[in-house]
Amino acid sequence: MDDSARRQIALWLFVCAAMVFATLVVGGVTRLTRSGLSIVEWQPLVGTLPPLSQQDWLEVFGKYQQTPEFRQVNHDMTLDEFKFIFWWEYFHRLLGRTIGLVFLLPFLYFLLRRRIEGSLVPKLIGIFLLGGLQGAMGWYMVKSGLVDDPRVSQYRLTAHLSLAFLIFIAMMWVALGLIEERSRYFANQGWRRLQRFGFWLFVLACYMVVTGGFVAGIHAGKAYNTFPLMNGHVVPPEILMLDPWYFNFFSNMATVQFDHRLGAWLLALLAPWFWFRLRRFPVRGRAQAVAGLMLLVLAGQISLGILTLLNAVPVALGAAHQGGAMVLMATLLWLNHELRVPAPLRAG
């Protein structure tokens, strides 16, 4: 595959990744405005068209009025108020469908023009299949809130969120590899330790995504709205109040929020340490520059998290914090890609 094709495919994947980011932010607003249960059917093709007439709106609203959320929470909602939550969910789904087209059509074009090397095809097919799975998972999540309890399952919400990040990670990593190939080999011991350090920072960021999903799923950000202590405690006394004990990690607001805070504290301590260790190696400036950018993004994300918590998760801050998580993930991916460059033999 020539350099021109590699750059074109990488650009296409970066565009798709940017669209995943936009969908994540819109999804955050959809969740925070309680708009996610406004569309009670999953119609991948027919559902692309919104209501076009007053009769269409009344029909869609009538279906929503049969849901537990309307009967128990929004029983006095007007049609105009319904339109507000409908449009957020509609645009969230529309973005997801659009990503599918923006991914599939150029993929077929590159494939038919023989501009994709054989080893890349399975990776791209895998990403497309993950996108399809994500759509199904989104509906599976919505269905959990259309039963007796008008609240989506925190397990399904976390799976839906995690899949979005997995698709984003796959797109970004493949695109970065197309721009500049890296090698894990011929690095000395000190550099390999830094590579492992960078990898575990990335794993810790993934942990933050999963715990953040459970925080969102049970609305744990609405409780313990103090910082740095949790209502005066380092470890809240009710952290293991549920039985059996392992339910606390998924359903107890105190435990779920504590787990998320713990990950943030670890990142806040380990990321500067990594940056300091990296500066001891005579590497090219880009790796050090990306590490510095990672610190800035992390500082911004932690600050957003604190502000979101202290203000009991307003829509704007909550959506910004969710988007910031993906920006941090992108920076850590870029950093780990830079770390695949072997260090000079004299270093460490």
Distance separating alpha carbons of residues 132 and 73, to the nearest angstrom: 32
Q: Distance between the two ends of the chain, CA-based, in angstroms?
A: 36
Specify the long-range contacts of residues 53-60, CB closer than 8 Å, at least 24 apart: 57/83, 60/86
pLDDT value for 44: 77
Q: Which residues of 230-269 are buried (b: 16+ CB within 10 A; e: fewer)?
A: beeeeebeebbebeeeeebbbbbbbbbbbbbbebbeebee
Identify the residue with better confidence: 179 or 265.
265
Q: How many other CB atoms are found less than 10 A from the CB of residue 145? A: 20
Angle at 252 between CA 251 and CA 258, to 5 degrees: 120
Among 152, 153, 161, residue whose Cα is nearest residue 134: 161
Identify the residue with better confidence: 142 or 347.
142
Q: Are 205 and 166 in contact (CB under 8 A)?
A: no
Average pLDDT of the residues in 338-346: 61
pLDDT value for 283: 65
Residue 92 in this model has a pLDDT that exceeds 90: yes
Identify the residue with better confidence: 347 or 185.
185
Residue 274 in this model has a pLDDT that exceeds 80: yes
Among 186, 221, 197, 217, residue whose Cα is nearest residue 294: 197
- In this structure, what token pair is assigned to residue 316? 């704007």
pLDDT value for 32: 96
Average pLDDT of the residues in 286-313: 95
Task: Give the tens place of pLDDT for each residue, 223-240.
Answer: 999 999 999 999 999 999
Backbone angles phi, psi at 341, to 5 degrees: -75, 125
Q: What counts of helices (H) and strands (E) characterise the chain?
A: 11, 0
For 70-128, the three-class secondary structure string (H helix, E strand, C coil) is HHHCCCCCCHHHHHHHHHHHHHHHHHHHHHHHHHHHHHHHHHHCCCCCHHHHHHHHHHH
Residue 318 in this model has a pLDDT that exceeds 90: yes
pLDDT value for 46: 63
Q: Among positive and negative, which fits the CA dihedral 147, 152, 157, 159?
A: negative
pLDDT value for 346: 41
Burial class of residue 76, CB neighbours in 10 A (0-12, 13-18, 19+): exposed
pLDDT value for 345: 42
- In this structure, what token pair is assigned to residue 209? 């995504």
Residue 6 in this model has a pLDDT that exceeds 70: yes
Task: Give the tens place of pLDDT for each residue, 39-81.
Answer: 998 887 767 889 999 999 999 999 999 999 999 999 999 999 9
Confidence of residue 348 (pLDDT cuts 50, 70, 90): very low
Lowest mean pLDDT among 121-125, 146-150, 224-228: 146-150
Identify the residue with better confidence: 203 or 182.
203
Angle at 83 between CA 82 and CA 87, to 5 degrees: 120
Model-level pTM? 0.94
- In this structure, what token pair is assigned to residue 173? 């990593």
Residue 285 in this model has a pLDDT that exceeds 80: no
DSSP calls for 280-312: TS---HHHHHHHHHHHHHHHHHHHHHHHHHHTT
Confidence of residue 284 (pLDDT cuts 50, 70, 90): low
Average pLDDT of the residues in 4-32: 96
pLDDT value for 347: 40
Percent of the chain with pLDDT over 70: 94
Task: Give the tens place of pLDDT for each residue, 184-232.
Answer: 555 677 788 889 999 999 999 999 999 999 999 999 999 999 999 999 9
Distance separating alpha carbons of residues 293 and 126, to the nearest angstrom: 30
**What average pLDDT does the chain have?**
92
Cis check: omega of the bond before 122, within 30 degrees of 0:
no
